[in-house]
Amino acid sequence: MIWKRRRYILAVLAFFGFFNIYALRANLSIAIVDMTAQKESVLENGTIIHVRDFDWDSKKQGFVLSSFFYGYILTQMIGGWLASKFGGKHIFGLGIASTAALTVITPFVAKQSFYFLLAVRIAEGICEGVTYPCIHDVWSKWAPPLERSRMATIGFSGSFFGTVVSMPVCALLADVWGWESIFYVTGSVGLLWFLCWWLLIADSPANDKYISQSELRYIQGSLGQQVNRKVKHPWKSIATSLPVWAIVVGHFSENWGFYTLLTQLPTFMKDILHFELGSTGVMAAIPYLAISITVQLAGQLADWLRERNVFTTTQVRKIFNCGAYISQTAFMLAAAYLLSPVGTTICLTFAVGLGGFAWAGFGVNHLDIAPQHASILMGISNTFATIPGIISPVITGYIVTTPSEYEWQIVFFISSGVYLFGCIFYGVFAKGEVQSWAKESETLKSEYEFKKREGMENAAYSSD
């Protein structure tokens, strides 16, 4: 009865939290197509003219699409530190609620000034920047070692479902009620989620008044009650650890391709594949539907392989991560050459969808190598992984000016090269075991020791 397991109730609400995170982030990608589209207007004398709500060229559009990430990059490390000090649950919820509130006022701000809009999007990034580091602090307290992949990927998959749903819904809202409604709806949904999260979720199993004693014993036994200790972060060891940098490079590489398509795919499909706005939202969502499914399958498969000792944790992380990047490189190159509605959509669907396996690699790897420092490690890796969100839309804005098929091919070639580099670096340096600088013998148990007692814990848990 999974609905009685508090850790999976938390994972489901984390899923909807990430759903909102990406709906709030991707809404502008659809809205900007309508905001800058040529629209018919009839003057008093009967003359028909074509005007745009916002007369922004491709460079301005690139800057406004990337502005969110200017703020987002600033609070990654801060978010990890705040989570370890005040609890990941509180900071995660407040980060999303603040972003949602700013989203609601976005239409008013956009009509005042381009620079006011940039400021609000930067502020949204600052608020949302704490979320990924904070959720790793939550997993470190709630996720048993052999359930890390599936619990984390349940949460992370909400990001992609949020993109899947928000793109066609935002396109529909723009068609029916205008682009302003996109921000009103996504912001309101985010605020509603915050109320549920704040009322239903506890910061740790020990503080959850609804958890059963058997589940509490199971979680604390598997984690060695490490969550009750104050953590001192070994900054020098973290900075010089190659497994940490493998995660950083892996995260950066995946986000380069993902953010490039997240911010530019609707425009590409309109300009090159000649989809109408309504169709653009639906077709642009297909790749994210694929990754929302594969990330769930990858998490389940990764833990299954580890539980049965088919592969070591290191092998699972490398196989999933590097296999995804090699495939993404190939499909991104194929998309660059085909440039046809059907062929390109299929290739981009595979290029994005196979990234779900990478999230069962680098995305959980922080918890493998240093469980107590996972929020800080996620803050570090997501800081670097935010850089693509800042520079990729701007680079695309400078490359794609005509727009032409050749210009978009260059954009896809760059993404392919980044994927390939990430594959090589992660494949060489990644590890899946707790690193020596992260070990605390009195609190951390090895997975081997945990598995020896797992049968007894599960028996007690099942009888509850």
Which tokens sit at 338? 């085909």
For 49-82, give one letter per residue: b (16+ CB within 10 A) or e.
Answer: eeeeebebebeebbbbbbbbbbbbbbbbbbbbbb
Residues of the chain with pLDDT under 70: 1-3, 40-44, 46-50, 225-231, 276-281, 440-464
Specify the pLDDT at position 416.
Answer: 92
Q: Please report the pLDDT score of residue 244 as a whole number.
A: 97
Query: What is the per-residue pLDDT for 341?
Result: 82
Please choose, from the candidates 215, 145, 188, 211, the residue with its C-alpha nearest in 3D space to the C-alpha of residue 364.
145
Q: Tokens in use for 15?
A: 């899923």
Rg (CA), the chain: 22
pLDDT in tens, 114-166: 999 999 999 999 999 999 889 988 998 898 888 888 898 899 889 888 878 88
Q: Cis (ω within 30 of 0) for the bond into 403?
A: yes
Query: What is the pLDDT, as a whole number, of residue 233?
Result: 85
How far apart, in whole angstroms, are the C-alpha atoms of residue 461 and residue 310? 26
Residues 6+ apart with CB under 8 A from 253: 325, 418, 419, 421, 422, 423, 426
Q: Determine the longest span between alpha carbons in the chain, in angstroms.
A: 84
Residue type, 360: A
Q: 366-387 in b/e burial notation, b at 16+ Cβ within 10 A?
A: bbbbbbbbbbbbbbbbbbbbbe
